[in-house]
Amino acid sequence: MNNIQYLNFDKIDLIELISILNENRIREHLIDHPVFDDSNIIDWVQSKVDCDSLAGSRIRAVVVDGKLGGWCGIQPEEDHFEIAIVLSESCWGVGPSIFRRILSWAEELGHKELYIHLLGTRPEYRFLAQRSKKIFRSIILGRDFTTYCIAVSSNTLK
């Protein structure tokens, strides 16, 4: 069993975060963006800290067994809130546990539903499909995504 901690972004090493965010396998699954470096990581982290202060949002760094593993959270996107989980490839196995924690935060924050967008090149995830009210294709910044609309309730936490 992994020990997972959720920390505010001011508690993490930005050099470690840069290394994770620039992993090729992670970048394959995200919207295209410039490689992170010492200068642009500051603004990106500040945008996540600002997002964390918004009503209905919660953004955290993920530490797995004492080592930074990525970040996750609930963030606004257009007219709804979305789930974000970005993990180093070495931590991909803890995704379902993090997903359940995010749903518990969502319930605490009063959300009725959340969306999660996965690049259309990824397979359908049964774990997500079983918890979804609906699944549909969407285009975000010119890229094709599979979007899962997940009802937030104690039933989805199992």
- For residue 113, pLDDT beyond 90: yes
pLDDT for the residue 34: 83
Percentage, residues of the chain above pLDDT 70? 95
53-76: pLDDT as tens digits: 999 999 999 999 999 999 999 999
d(CA 37, CA 60): 20
pLDDT for the residue 74: 99
pLDDT for the residue 71: 96
- For residue 158, pLDDT beyond 70: no
pLDDT for the residue 155: 52
pLDDT for the residue 47: 95
Q: List the domain range (segments joined by +) for residue 137.
A: 4-157
Mean pLDDT (whole number) for 26-55: 88
- The CATH number linked to 70 is 3.40.630.30
d(CA 28, CA 122): 10
Element (H, E) at 35: none
115-143: pLDDT as tens digits: 999 888 787 888 888 889 999 999 888 88
Tokens matching residue 140: 């975000």
pTM, two decimals, is 0.89
pLDDT for the residue 157: 52
Residue 41 burial (C-beta neighbours within 10 Å; 0-12, 13-18, 19+): middle
E strands within the chain?
4-7, 58-64, 67-77, 80-87, 113-119, 132-140, 143-151
pLDDT for the residue 156: 52
Domain count of the fold of the chain = 1
pLDDT for the residue 1: 61
